[in-house]
Amino acid sequence: MKRKHLFILAMVLTLAGLGCFYYKVRQLKLPLQPKVQTMLWTLEAEVAFKAQKAPIKIELFIPKNNPNIAITNESFISREFGLNTETEGGNRKAVWSKRQAKGKIHLYYRGVFRLTGVERTLEAPFDRRDKTELRKPDFSGTRLEASTALIAELFDKSADMESFVIALLKRLNQSDESAATLFLLDKMKTTEDKADLIVRLLSLADIQARAVHGIRLVQDLKFARSDLKHWVEVFDNGKWHPFNPETAEKGIPADYLVWWRGGEPLLKFKGLKDCKVAFSLARNEEETQFIVSDRNPKGMPFLYRFSLFSLPLQTQSVYRILMLIPIGALLVVLLRNVIGIRTLGTFMPVLIALALRETQLPVGLMLFIVLVGLGLGVRRYLEQLKLLVVPRLAAVLTMVILMMAAFSVVTHLLGLEQGLSVALFPMVILTMAIERMSILWEETGPGDALRQGLGTLIVATFIYLVMAVPILAHLVFVFPELNLVLLAAILLLGRYSGYRLTEFIRFKVFNTKEKSS
């Protein structure tokens, strides 16, 4: 009866855990591998100028959240300037202003972006608010004539909007073309100019279009304004369709970060003679840990919002560690109840394993041995003073902490940074371990005490090695529901009543007997 109940419970937990996991993998497309989409890009814009006497106002377009590229973090260095970010015509812009400033000034914008891995839909959704004004064609004289002729010709040769645009782009990209095209292009040096020309030509044909400016997140680079990549978006049937003006292909690559749209300049300034802006783009591997923390999870399903990602980054990093504890607990159950290794304190090995994560294995093991060894020495010495138990424990705890501090200082002076992470050792528990070990030492001799100490280290090392598997850490954090499966395993192990592995050694008399008969 109880057995059945337990199996059903374990089954329900497993199914719930796996079901939730499956949904998140298939529907929400959360990554199974820790490194698939963890590429983060830091984009930095540096605005440099020399202040004059006049009041200063600087406007710089900054990227906004996109389905394919999400902003994970943003910061500004504004010195003593007032800073405002505003949205205007579908674009975001940072506005710095100050009544009076002196000398050379550098202002920074820094954004951290993540490729979400979400397919960029070909048609960017039309947003009523970002309706740009129809760009005026602005042609005159012979240019107007040439343009009109070109449009008329291409209109004749195409069937719909798409084929028309592609024909136009192809024509503009041909080098050996008619005089009319050359004439239009002669002043076009950059792709940006070309994109603008295309928008004007389309406007002449009564097709609403706009230029898109941005950068592809492909490699580390320092770049200037002229290195930006430009696209053209054409409005048709309620959607914006992107086209590459260079290749005449439809679509925008997934790694293209849209910066701003329309014909306005990237940087506008008032009250200055000159203002320069420089950019840099860097891939950030270190921060790949902190993914999926989009600032704007609007429109994401409930389960997504109701997850650990909704927490602030700092809390998330705490849960990254906490979520590993159930794995450790399961391993403790296995090692104690199935293998039969004896340890000091039930879950102390888990805590030591967590500390090992910070210190790395060899250093951590050494620290543990040194601290426990010294602690045992101190405990032995205090024994002579005949202190009461609680004060003695407190004294050992204090000594342990002082020893840790001394250790950190010494290793730091020697240039070994790992000594600093000693502070993460669970010292209160360490103190209890020292106490228990010394009682064991007195009561049953050093053999048992050392055996249990060693058992603790072996179990801790094993747990550490398992916890260090990156994919496990990733899975339990991104899919905390997998802990339900672990829970089910723990519950089932709770009814394991077979022999422990070490009992074969303990009862080996019965085996030798079996062989001899």
Partner 1 sequence: MKAWGGLKQSGILGLNQRNAAYTLVYNQRRLYPLVDDKLKTKALALQAGLSVPELYGVIDSEYQIRHKLHDLLAIHPEAVIKPSKGSGGKGILVLTGRFRERYRKNNGIIMEKEEVGYHVSNILSGMYSLGGQPDRAMIEYRVQFDPVFEGVSYMGVPDIRIIVFLGVPVMSMVRLPTRESNGKANLHQGAVGAGIDLAGGVTVAAVWKNTAVEEHPDTGASIKGLTIPRWPELLKLAAGCYELTGLGYLGVDIVLDQSKGPLILELNARPGLSIQIANRQGLLPRLDAVKKQAHDLHSLAERVAFAVKTFKTAAACNPNN
Please list every residue from 247 through 306 that binds partner 1, using CB under 8 A. Answer: none
Q: Which stretch binds partner 1 (CB under 8 A): 43-51, 117-125, 303-311, 381-389?
A: 381-389
Please list every residue from 329 through 348 that binds partner 1, using CB under 8 A. Answer: 337, 340
Decide whether 286 or 514 has the Cβ nearer to partner 1: 514
Question: CB of 393: closest distance to partner 1 in angstroms?
Answer: 9
Name the residue among 452, 482, 431 with its Cα closest to residue 336.
Answer: 452
Q: Which stretch binds partner 1 (CB under 8 A): 19-27, 72-80, 302-310, 441-449?
A: 441-449
Can you tell me which of 55, 445, 446, 470 binds partner 1, judged by CB under 8 A? Answer: 445
Q: Which stretch binds partner 1 (CB under 8 A): 234-242, 245-253, 371-379, 493-501?
A: 493-501
- Distances in Å between the Cα of 292 and the Cα atoms of 216, 287, 295, 297, 324 are 20, 11, 9, 9, 19
Q: Which stretch binds partner 1 (CB under 8 A): 140-148, 151-159, 274-282, 491-499?
A: 491-499
Please list every residue from 448 through 477 that binds partner 1, using CB under 8 A. Answer: 448
Q: Is 443 in the site for partner 1 (CB under 8 A)?
A: yes
Q: Is 507 in the site for partner 1 (CB under 8 A)?
A: yes
Question: CB of 404: closest distance to partner 1 in angstroms?
Answer: 24
Question: CB of 510: closest distance to partner 1 in angstroms?
Answer: 4
Question: CB of 284: closest distance to partner 1 in angstroms?
Answer: 49
Please list every residue from 17 through 56 that binds partner 1, using CB under 8 A. Answer: none
Q: Is 1 in the site for partner 1 (CB under 8 A)?
A: no
Question: CB of 390: closest distance to partner 1 in angstroms?
Answer: 6
- Spatial separation of the C-alpha atoms in residues 371 and 365, rounded to whole Å: 10
Decide whether 159 or 390 has the Cβ nearer to partner 1: 390
The full 3-state SS of 214-243, as one line of letters, equals: EEECCCCEEECHHHCEEEEEEEECCEEEEE
Can you tell me which of 444, 450, 470, 471 binds partner 1, judged by CB under 8 A? Answer: 444
Task: Count CB atoms within 10 A of the CB of residue 498.
Answer: 8
Q: Which stretch binds partner 1 (CB under 8 A): 58-66, 74-82, 209-217, 494-502?
A: 494-502
- Spatial separation of the C-alpha atoms in residues 200 and 57, rounded to whole Å: 30
Could you tell me the two tokens for 67? 């389905």
Q: What is the DSSP string of 260-295?
A: EESSS-SEEEES-S-EEEEEEEEEESGGGGS-S--S
Which helix (H) or strand (E) segment is 470 a member of? helix 470-478
| CA R_g for the chain | 33
CB burial of residue 45 (10 Å; 0-12, 13-18, 19+) = buried
Task: Count CB atoms within 10 A of the CB of residue 202.
Answer: 24
CA torsion 213→216→222→227, rounded to 10°?
-40
